[in-house]
Amino acid sequence: MSTYKLVICEKPSVAKSIAAVLDANERKGGFFVGNGYIVSWCAGHLLELAAPDAYGDYSKWRYADLPIIPEHWKHVPAKGKEAQLKIVTDLMNRADVEYVINGCDAGREGENIFKSAYIHAKCNKKIFRLWISSMEDAAIMTGFDNLADGKEYDNLYAAASCRERADWTVGINMTRTLSVLYHSTLGVGRVQSPTLAMLVGRDADIAAFVKEPFYMVNIDIDSLTASGEKTKDKQEAEAVRADCDGKAAVVRSVEYQKKSAAPPKLYDLTTLQREANRLFGFTAQQTLDYAQSLYEKAILSYPRVDSRYITSDMRGTAGAVVEWIQKDMEYKDGADFAPDIDRLIDDKRVTDHHAIIPTIGMTATDISALPSGECDILNLVACRLLCATAPTHIFEAVTALLDCGGHVFTAKGKTIIADGWKAIDTAFKSSLRNKPEAGEDEDGEGGDALPGLSEGQTFDSVAASIKEGSTTPPRPYTEDTLLSAMENAGAEETDDDVERKGLGTPATRAAIIEKLVKTGFADRVKKNIIPSDKGKSLVAVLPDALTSPKLTAEWENRLLMVQRGELPEKEFMDGITAFTKALVAENNAPKPELMGLFGGDKPQNESLGVCPRCGSPVREGKKGFFCDKHSCGFKVWKASKFWAAKKKPLTAAIVAALLKDGRVALKGLFSEKTGKKYDATVVLDDTGDGYVNFRLDFGKK
């Protein structure tokens, strides 16, 4: 009897590409067959963890039933995928299948997708692992020539399974706990909750921001403008202007400093998503989808990666792709150089997968025929590869100090010595349909060249003027800045020896952002991600442990220990169980002052005064002061930037005075500028636009 090798892929498109390489070209229902191979697919997760009611009478949400901790975990078919699951199960159990090859995506979730289906089928045939980073024919063949024993990846599956069960345990139990206590469906997640807390924290900082004016005197000398120090005192600025206008200015010093800007590193998924959001406005999920499609078309390497380097065995491939880009791409201006491929290589900094780069398949692709989003991503990655191998950008920074009327003024400029990689970057951005907004130079230096200056040089009768400005509030998160914040979250409070920090992984961050928007906890407003009222209210009731990025960083590092075989699955899950039990026990009753946030019973603590917007009572909560009428939206957060900067705790007495009189005289406010304390009147400056602001009044005490 003829026997077959069964290959299980993650997606139909991948199965089709692999089947073509293996000459398994006969298409049947749910698989390809030929040349001794059967190639099928999972279509993503064919199975998912069962709902709580699979473990008992948990269809109704009751606090008394919590925590729900399954002794033996169950998987059920994912909705709509039952037919493909049966096909895969039947194929695994066919008598003529000799062994099974796991061809799912080479990562933690790919291992989970395959292994859960394998276990569901009760298959006991030998497993081999196909581990590739590119869908090119040559890469696929190399992968099949070097199949690994599936047992080598048992720990990777263990980590994936722990992650899945841990997220279920904390998510299900805390979602039910808070939802029951506050009579509203409140979704909780290990990565979702601290991400939402960051959005709410930024929103509170914006709401509490107090705009402060500043003034700066400039002196103009022909084509040169020099600037003085900023001051908050307009009279002081006017006095400096009067001292300088029409007077002589003398150059006291001129400093020339040769500097350089190194070429950028290659993209990992997070940096690619951030750049695509800045340049094209793509969401993180859109960028991942486009990159995944390009990977499946064998034009781009595997996208779900956290490395920004390639390995030494890729030197030839990368060099060939760079050479083609230099000759054929429209942003090749400035690309006439010998590429430095060695700069891209660091074997020690590549674990499962290397950085994202175009494959050699790009050279045989009609890029203009690709969907526009895929075309944008491919060009972006190709340009980054070219820039990363290009010469360093070199310039000379000039800083001149001038004296006028006894005051010091500074002028800065720079002269380009060698454009290097920036010539390519500029050409690429100029080729875009929507040109990016001009921003500050990446090197942080002034952009214009200064005229020739020498020490002691004198300029007669300069013109002095005052430039007025004001401080600006923190900006709302965009997808770009939120991804960066997620990547770096908790770094300052996490031990240096912790291997993985931040919220989530490159592969999961996009889905977390999408889930926050889909569930109504956050909204997209143009490019910004803004927490909704529902999201703000959820953060107000979340336990502190679930809003801290430190928790997910600790989890990820323990999962890495499981993956490396350094920590048993049971020990990891025992820790999750203990953590969940403690959280449920600590949150055994609603906080009365927060019930009004979700339209439940009104809080019973004393009213501090009347809401200036709607006339309802305002009461104190754990994290702020809230109007009883949830739809009103009047909220004053205790930990806002305004009160933190003044080092003055926001008390119920202060809020009561603000509600009664609209102002309160306070002593001992801290000045960040002078480091000293002062007295002033704080005025409630509520415009009713979603934020409650404050301002200082020094005229009335």
Active-site residue set? 302
The letter for the amino acid at 626 is F
Phi, psi of 228 (to 5 degrees): -90, -170
CA dist., res. 376 & res. 382, Å (int):
10
CA triple 420-423-425, angle to 5 deg: 110
Q: For strands 528-531 and 663-670, give the pairing.
A: unpaired
CA dist., res. 507 & res. 272, Å (int):
12
CA dist., res. 390 & res. 264, Å (int):
9
DSSP state of 602: P
CA dist., res. 252 & res. 33, Å (int):
82
Put residue 352 in one of left, alpha, beta given phi > 0 → left and psi -120 to 50 → alpha: alpha
Please enumerate in sequence order all residues whose Cβ is within 8 A of that of 290, keeping only pairs 6 or more positions apart, or say none: 282, 371, 373, 374, 376, 377
Neighbouring C-beta atoms of residue 515, cutoff 10 Å? 17
CB 5 within 8 A of CB 36: yes
CA pseudo-torsion sign 417, 420, 425, 431: positive
Could you give the C-alpha distances from 148 to 131, 282, 565, in angstroms and in order? Answer: 8, 37, 18
Q: For strands 47-49 and 75-77, give the pairing.
A: antiparallel
Could you give the C-alpha distances from 529 to 373, 507, 535, 552, 639, in angstroms and in order? Answer: 21, 19, 12, 21, 21
Phi, psi of 502 (to 5 degrees): 85, 180
CA dist., res. 677 & res. 668, Å (int):
5
- Could you tell me the end-to-end alpha-carbon distance of the chain, in angstroms, rounded to an integer? 97
Phi, psi of 195 (to 5 degrees): -65, -45
214 forms beta bridges with 469
DSSP string for residues in 432-470? SSSPPPP---TT-S-SSPPPP--TT-EE-S-EEEEEEEE
Task: Give the position of tokens 């005051």.
Answer: 407
Q: What is the SS3 assignment for 634-694? A: CEEECCCHHHHHHCCCCCHHHHHHHHHHCEEEEEEEECCCCCCEEEEEEEEEECCCCCEEE
CB 416 within 8 A of CB 214: no
